[in-house]
Amino acid sequence: MSTNYYESSLIEHKKYAGKVQVSSRVPLETRDDMSTYYSPGVAQPCLEIAKNPESAYDYTRKGRTIAVVSDGTAVLGLGNIWGLAGLPVMEWKAILFKEFGGVDAIPLVLKTQDPDEIISIVENIAPTFGGINLEDISAPNCFYIEDELKKRLNIPVFHDDQHGTAIVVLAGLINALKLTGKEIWSIKIVIAGAGAAGLSIAKLLQAYGAKHIIITDSKWAIHSKRTDLNQYKTPRIATNIDDQSGTLAEVLVGADVFVGVSRPNLISSNEVRTMNQDPIIFALSNPEPEIMPEEAYAGGAAIVATGRSDFPNQVNNVLAFPGLFKGILEARIPQIEHKHLIAVAKALADYVKTPTKDEIIPWALDKAVAQVVADAVKKA
């Protein structure tokens, strides 16, 4: 009998009344403990921090702690359910940071969805943390919020829905291209979905050397004659080097790579057949992908990746974000740049010693990956 995970999850969440807790790193048994870690002794680290704010990294948890901040506008596939309803997801994110990267993460869900209010709130709580992980915030606000916080804060800010997905896609693509004998600069890539993940994937692939990238949104391909594009979509015109217009099916003709971050059942084996020889398919919509692996292979796909754990080549952000923040915090890197994202992607690709069509990226639950990622970040 198969498990009903919806029912069992509800039971378990109620049983534990939350998945995370705070525990002490110091003893609290004697009067000396109280005097050392609280009054009067605690006055001395307070005064040291007042003289030198950087010493907070030495005397408090700041250097190993991040905030996981969400407004609840794009929680999983549930859409806009507001911050409080997304708290179970943010708690789990905090667990992943701790279990894989040794990073303490505090889930913070907000009552507001106004981007300027979110920026102000995060700016004012930032002194507590060594970094900020933005989570499940919808586009285009997520771009504005991240950009503005990066300008205002001297600690790293990272929107995982954008960059975590992009890192793992690039890692998988590096190995997929090795297997198919193709080069990043010579291929045609089509990305379905012009939200947070799709636009960030395009930017990172371009930074790595991709020249020909076409993005389609809910209407059609992004090209120069469209007058309805916002400031975040407009730069993607430049990578549509032939300025192709048309539907997803039309621009897929002759493509080497399809990356789907859109909706289920978006393409069929018929569209895959129109692509270039040995096409690479990343169908990442969850829980139902843009095309099921068996159908993609029936259309001639050489390699298929999805976001699901029950198929090979799971593109899972947990391969990236715990180790990324571990390295960033340990090295006290103030800003996360493309060089760090590319370094992580290359480290993930190299971790797979002998890539095959069923193994182009590491297993998502391999806890050794985080240290490899952290080391790559420090060297970037």
Give residue limits of the domains in the chain: 60-155, 157-380
Averaged pLDDT for residues 77-100: 94
342 contacts 170 by C-beta, under 8 angstroms: yes
Query: Using CA atoms, how far apart are residues 171 and 344, in angstroms rounded to an integer?
Result: 8
Q: Which CATH superfamily is domain 60-155 in?
A: Malic enzyme, N-terminal domain (3.40.50.10380)
Averaged pLDDT for residues 299-317: 95
HSE-up of 132 (CA within 13 Å, CB side)? 30
134 contacts 159 by C-beta, under 8 angstroms: yes
378 contacts 346 by C-beta, under 8 angstroms: no
Of the options 3.40.1390.10, 3.40.50.2300, 3.20.20.70, 3.40.50.720, the CATH number for the domain spanning 157-380: 3.40.50.720
pLDDT band of residue 1 (cuts 50, 70, 90) is: low
77 or 68, which is more confident:
68
Averaged pLDDT for residues 64-89: 94
Residue 66: beta bridge partners? 105, 131
pLDDT at 348: 98
Give the rounded percent of residues in the chain with a pLDDT score beyond 90.
93
**What are 271's two structure tokens?**
């569209």
Q: Do domains 60-155 and 157-380 have the same CATH topology?
A: yes
pLDDT at 78: 84
Averaged pLDDT for residues 238-258: 95
pLDDT at 51: 98
Averaged pLDDT for residues 251-269: 96
Query: Using CA atoms, how far apart are residues 100 and 102, in angstroms rounded to an integer?
Result: 6
What's the Cα-to-Cα distance from 112 to each of 115, 116, 152, 188, rounded to whole Å? 8, 10, 20, 40
CA pseudo-torsion sign 243, 247, 250, 254: positive
Q: Is 200's pLDDT higher than 90?
A: yes
Q: Which helix (H) or strand (E) holds 343?
A: helix 338-351
Catalytically annotated residues: 38, 93
280 or 229, which is more confident:
280
Query: Using CA atoms, how far apart are residues 267 and 252, in angstroms rounded to an integer?
Result: 10
Q: What is the mean pLDDT of the chain?
A: 96
307 contacts 315 by C-beta, under 8 angstroms: yes
Q: Is 206's pLDDT higher than 80?
A: yes
pLDDT at 218: 86
**What are 157's two structure tokens?**
């800010």
CA pseudo-torsion sign 29, 31, 32, 35: positive
Q: Is 289's pLDDT higher than 90?
A: yes
